[in-house]
């Protein structure tokens, strides 16, 4: 490698590094969901290699027959695979704050003949569900976009059944990437217990168990 090529590579690396730092700084102070028009960009071959769509439902503790809540479906790739995982005896509801995202996922589900899936526009701080409904809740590279993640954790606890699973998958290149210890702290404050940790610093999945006690109704 000649000197000019080396300098070019170093220059590109520094530009990428600087861009990441700027984006992360902005995202730290201003939380907002990725625009609906950009959801296709985050569903790319590299991400699917690191977070395989067919494998992620298993990492999230999703099993056939479960009633599942997904937060932030993106373009629906992981949503569709989760719906296939739960099978005809289960049901999946995916929520997002952006109507265009939900419309996109519902259209895709219809095209792929997925009938155990529904999508709703909803705020995770005030979920439109009764308490003790879901067996599992999961999200992929989403929790960092939520303005009040601690408050959302308490909502997830409310709508989950006792012993229900709350799962997060994260990847370092995401500007909103949280450290595992941060999620463990937030989840612990909302009555969740860490059940399983998979992956490494660059990409990981955390599974938590809801420790609340079912109140007789």
Please tell me the predicted confidence (pLDDT) of residue 48. Answer: 83
- Per-residue model confidence as pLDDT tens digits over 106-147: 999 999 999 999 999 999 999 999 999 999 999 999 999 899
**Contact 93/119 with Cβ under 8 angstroms?**
yes
**Contact 193/209 with Cβ under 8 angstroms?**
yes
Mean pLDDT (whole number) for 73-86? 96
Please tell me the predicted confidence (pLDDT) of residue 18. Answer: 47
**pLDDT more than 90, % of the chain:** 71
Q: How confident is the model at residue 173 (pLDDT cuts 50, 70, 90)?
A: confident
For the question of whether the overall pTM of this predicted structure is more than 0.75, the answer is yes
Please tell me the predicted confidence (pLDDT) of residue 28. Answer: 57
């Amino acid at each position: 490698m000649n000197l000019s090529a080396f300098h070019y590579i170093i220059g590109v690396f520094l530009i990428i590094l600087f861009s990441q730092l700027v984006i992360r700084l902005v995202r730290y102070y201003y939380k907002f969901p990725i625009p609906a028009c950009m959801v296709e960009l985050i569903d790319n071959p590299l991400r699917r290699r690191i977070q395989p769509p067919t494998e992620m439902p298993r990492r999230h503790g999703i099993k056939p027959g479960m009633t599942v809540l997904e937060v932030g479906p993106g373009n629906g790739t992981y949503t569709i695979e989760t719906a296939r995982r739960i099978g005809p005896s289960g049901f999946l509801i995916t929520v997002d704050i952006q109507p265009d995202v939900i419309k996109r996922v519902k259209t895709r589900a219809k095209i792929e003949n997925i009938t155990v899936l529904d999508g709703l526009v909803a705020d995770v701080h005030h979920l439109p569900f009764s308490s003790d409904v879901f067996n599992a809740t999961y999200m992929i590279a989403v929790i960092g976009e939520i303005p009040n993640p601690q408050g959302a954790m308490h909502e997830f606890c409310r709508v989950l059944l006792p012993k229900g699973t709350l799962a997060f998958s994260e990847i370092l290149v995401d500007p909103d990437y949280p450290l595992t210890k941060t999620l463990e702290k937030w989840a612990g404050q909302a009555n969740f217990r860490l059940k399983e940790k998979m992956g490494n610093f660059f990409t990981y999945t955390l599974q938590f168990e809801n420790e609340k006690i079912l109140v007789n109704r």
